[in-house]
Structure formats: structure tokens, C-alpha cells
Copies of this chain bind each other. A is one copy, B any other.
Amino acid sequence: MTARSTNTGEGSGAHDPHRDIPEATVARLPVYLRALTSLAERNIASCSSEELATAAGVNSAKLRKDLSYLGSYGTRGVGYDVDYLSYQIAREIGVTHDWPVIIVGIGNLGQALANFSGFSSRGFRTVALLDAAPQMQGQAVAGLEVRPFADLAEIVAAEQVSIGVISVPATAAQDVADAMVGAGISSILNFAPAVLSVPPGVDVRKVDLSIELQILAYHESRKAAESAEAAATVDNGSEEGITA
């Protein structure tokens, strides 16, 4: 996009664009990567933007624009090489090597996460499970021993962990986040329904099921209201030019 080389020096390499990928695009790259993986599993070697867009559930123009932020990895008149593009996206995201991850709070949700195989297959490796409850400690979950919360800093340092998952009750979430940041973690995935405050430089993403359900409920209410209104309109006879 607009080779604005007016940037300070920095003549890094053949493709300069590596700067400033829009956040909305970053959020879609993993979706494209998954679609590509799925194509590769079906032994499809190349695909058009149209095909990939369909597989990813987006508009093809948006897909092409997104990919153009990474560089020109397609061939006009042909399409994209599945393996090549996969690698380029993985490299851009930074999942060409595995990221060590720790999970704090091995309750209902934490155990499900620990047992989830989808993480390891997508560039993440759970290196430790931590919990504050004495009765949890030493128990084996998903082949890992649950360790005391106090070991956090030690583990983070030893394993060079930069990503942490919080699945403790909301009341404990801020404390855990503080401890994580103190131990050197700089990216947090938070499942607790709490607003975390962290210093600049630390990224937090939250996953909140209640919110998702409430958003669905809102739209559901509106749908109900709409059909009720439509019925009322029919009742009323004319009113509103919707009359047949």
C-alpha cells in the first residue's frame, strides 16, 4: 500500500511493508490460516481469493486487501499457493515456532482448556498449570502436574513464558494479572468477567461468554419485537405503506 518510503531509513528487505497491519486485519489472519490449513489437508495446492474467502467466510475483496498488507504473495491470473501463503501468514503472526503458555486457575474451565488439543496444533504449548487451592496441587491434569500459584515467577522465567491465560473467579483476576505482569508476562487472555488494568505494553484480550449471550439476546429481542410489530401492523390494517 502506497510505498511511502518517506519513512526513516529502514531499508530492511525486498518487501518493506511489514509495518502497521490494521487491527481488523490481524484479527482475520488466523481465520485465513485455518482455512488454508483445511485446504492443505484436502491436498489442494493453490486457490483463488474467491475460494479462500468463501472458506474463511469473508468478502473476497476484503481478503485480498488484507493479504496485500503482508506483501504480494499471490500470482495474478492464478491465485495463491496454499503452502506458501500459509507460511507467510504464520510468519507474520509469529506462529512459525511454538509459544509457551501457562494457565492459572484449574477449575471447570481451566481443566477444559488444559485438555484442549487445539492449542498445541496452532502454535501454542501449555507448559504449566497453576492453582492456588491446596487440594488441586500435585494433581495431574492433561498430563501436567498442577503447581502452586506461588511458583508463577519461577516458571515464567525458566520457560520464557510471555503469554498467560486467566481462568480464576472474577474477584481474583486482577491479583493474578498483577502477578503475571510482575513475573514478566506481557500478553494475557482473560476468561474472568472482570475489567483488568495493566501497565502499558501489556496486551489483554478477554473472552466473555455472558456478554456474547447477551448480545444474542438483544438481537433475539428485536426479532421478537419486529414480528410482534408486523402482526400488529396487519391487525391495524393499513398504517405504514407495507400494505400489500
Copies of this chain in the oligomer: 2
Residues from chain B with a CB closer than 8 A to the CB of A26 are 215, 218-219
Which residues does A use to contact B, with CB under 8 Å? 2, 5, 7-9, 26-27, 29-31, 33-35, 55-57, 92-95, 99, 101, 108-109, 111-113, 115-116, 118-119, 122-124, 162-163, 186-189, 193, 195, 197, 201, 203, 205, 207-224, 226, 239-241
In the bound assembly, the distance between CA atoms of A29 and B212 in angstroms comes to 11
- Closest approach, in angstroms, between the C-beta of A36 and any C-beta of chain B? 13
Closest to A204 in B: B216
- With A and B bound together, what is the CA distance between A2 and B224 in angstroms? 14
Question: Which of A101, A193, A212 has the most B CB atoms < 10 Å from its CB?
Answer: A212
Choose from B27, B94, B210, B220 the contact partner of A30 (Cβ within 8 Å). B210
> Contacts A56-B195, A93-B221, A163-B220 known; A214 to B113 CB distance under 8 Å?
no
Query: When the two chains form the complex, which single residue of B119, B203, B222 contacts A209, counting CB atoms closer than 8 Å?
Result: B119
Residue of B nearest to A121 (CB): B210
> What B residues does A197 contact at CB under 8 A?
57
- CB < 8 Å: which of B56, B93, B207, B220 contacts A212? B207
